[in-house]
Amino acid sequence: MKIAVMGGDGFIGWPTSLHLSDAGHDVHILDNLSRRWIDTELGVQSLTPMDSIQERTRIWHAETGRRIHFNLIDLARDYELLKKWLAENRPDAIIHFAEQRAAPYSMKSDRHKNYTVNNNINATHNLLNALVELQLDAHLIHLGTMGVYGYSTVGAAIPEGYLPVGIETTSGETVSQEILYPANPGSIYHMTKCLDQTLFHFYAKNDGLRITDLHQGIVWGTHTEQTRRHEQLVNRFDYDGDYGTVLNRFLIQAAIGYPLTVHGTGGQTRAFIHIQDSVRCIELALKNPPARGARVEIFNQMTETHRVRDLAEMISKLTGAEIAWLPNPRKEAPENELIVKNDKFRDLGLDPITLKTGLMGEIVDVARKFAYRVDRSRVPAVSAWTRDIAPTINHDPEGKRLKSVS
Ligand code: USQ
């Protein structure tokens, strides 16, 4: 297949591009390199040294003989360029990662809120609009988030996108219907993914676009089979307070002797998936497109759930790291249960990599290898969700005075 990977230079976009190229597909990356600019804005860098996208694709060609093409296009701002590229290339499938994906970054200031909404919503809408205008029947796979469901404390399993409800008619009968699971975002970033869902619903219904939305949990890990092949194919690895995700952050904190930064009581339960499984799921979704005219296909792309404090305690036991119980900069339920259905990927053959499979040691090794690149002052999470809980977190540039509050 000819596949366009929008956002193919990012944390999941890059390993997905390699995985699909390795599987024999003709891969074309479209990316505005915004993630690299945000690193510059924040004054942080990936833990792993990343080459330019041109160099990465050159190495991939040298290693495998396969070409991955790169196009510098901003989906949100260059509609005509995007349309021209799609018209000339007419891909069979499009994988859409081209959105600002960090919740803390999206909450930093009014400017960051505007940027995240403008970028994410325009990118998605431009893409859908162009597909219709060009009468292009490409299967669109979007990377969504488990966060669209919210984290209620109700102990019922979250279904895959649609919720069966009984509605009483005027004649007193109860009819059952499936509705999109009610959106309950916890950040501006998560809110954009909820809005994306409405765009998908409309374009599938009105124009018959074939769309799959993947509600993904928190990704951990860094390497995949293909990124391990050459040191210059390495994936990016974020550890900072805005882009680093919780499990990867704890592992790197343990590796550099920094107390594990648990927000609040650590009672938040979240869904997780290893990066290798994430790219496998995308390939499975690619092989199983919805029919034209069908409703949006939704998969829960996660393999296990964990409570934040359990992760911290497990890593502390494993490595001897201290735990710092910090005031939570986010507005989120302090404790929640989470049960998630993921039968669809399991039925398609996904055999998950779990925390027990031992890949956590690999991350600690990567972190130790590149520990010299870590700026400890960028480890604490300081983006606050509301003005009244603006940074009360006690940290200094050396990151040594984190106080335990329990
Ligand atoms: N947390 C800590 N300590 C930290 C970092 C985070 O206790 O140092 C807590 C947070 O307060 C939160 C939980 O860990 O309760 C998860 O935070 P996270 O930063 O790992 O994940 P999140 O902000 O939800 O976002 C990440 C990705 C996003 C993706 C989402 C999937 O950045 O792109 O959509 O995970 S999900 O969480 O399932 O919505």
What is the predicted pLDDT for the residue at 15? 98
Q: Cβ(148) to ligand 1 under 6 A?
A: no
Cα–Cα distance between 36 and 88 in angstroms, integer? 28
The pLDDT tens digits of the residues spanning 213-227 come to: 999 999 999 999 999
In the residue annotation, 115 being an active-site residue is answered as no
Q: Whose CA is nearest to atom 30 of ligand 1?
A: 218
Helix H or strand E segment including 59: helix 53-64
Asked if CATH classification 3.40.50.12780 holds for the domain at 2-240+273-302+342-353, the reply, yes or no, is no
In the residue annotation, 243 being an active-site residue is answered as no
Q: Cβ(261) to ligand 1 under 6 A?
A: yes
The pLDDT tens digits of the residues spanning 268-305 come to: 999 999 999 999 999 999 999 999 999 999 999 999 99
Q: Cβ(268) to ligand 1 under 6 A?
A: yes
The interface predicted TM-score of the complex, written ipTM, equals: 0.99
**What's the CA angle centered on 38, arms 391 and 4, to 5 degrees?**
135
Distance 127 CA to ligand 1 centre (A): 27
Locate the DSSP E strands across 285-349.
297-301, 304-307, 323-326
pLDDT band at 389 (very low <50, low <70, confident <90, very high): low
Q: Whose CA is nearest to atom 16 of ligand 1?
A: 246
- Domain range list for the chain: 2-240+273-302+342-353
- Per annotation, catalytic residue among 145, 212, 222, 224: 145
Averaged pLDDT score across all residues of the chain = 94
- With beta carbons less than 8 A apart as the criterion, state whether 8 and 141 touch: no
DSSP single-letter state for residue 340 = B
Global pTM value? 0.95
